Amino acid sequence: MRNLKLILRREPAAVGTLVASIMPVLVLVGVIRIDEAGIAAVVVAVNTLVGFGVRLLVSPAAAQNAPVASDPGPVAA
């Protein structure tokens, strides 16, 4: 699982490329009916969702908990 996360972190668009490679075969065989514009829309959607998911799941925890520059920090009483 760790290797898969590393691969996705380096190249999340690979999933979209895989979808773009498989969908024409599914259309040719008759499993799905979709035109070229539909395939392009699905590939873009897959790339967007996978990229967003990878950024959420694979990003280091330190970056998620980093202080914000505009945060004044704890207030002294």
Contact 72, 26 (CB under 8 A): no
Number of separate domains in the chain: 1
Per-residue pLDDT reduced to its tens digit, 9-66: 777 777 777 888 888 888 889 998 988 898 889 888 888 888 787 777 766 655 555 5
Helix (H) or strand (E) holding 31: none
pLDDT at 74: 64
In a domain, 47, yes or no: yes
User: Is residue 77 predicted with pLDDT exceeding 90?
Assistant: no
In a domain, 19, yes or no: yes
In a domain, 15, yes or no: yes
In a domain, 72, yes or no: no
Q: Is the dihedral of CA 28, 31, 34, 40 positive or negative?
A: negative
Residue-range definition of the domain harbouring residue 17: 2-59
Radius of gyration (C-alpha) of the chain in whole angstroms: 19
In a domain, 53, yes or no: yes
pTM for the model: 0.58
In a domain, 16, yes or no: yes
In a domain, 76, yes or no: no
In a domain, 23, yes or no: yes
pLDDT at 29: 93
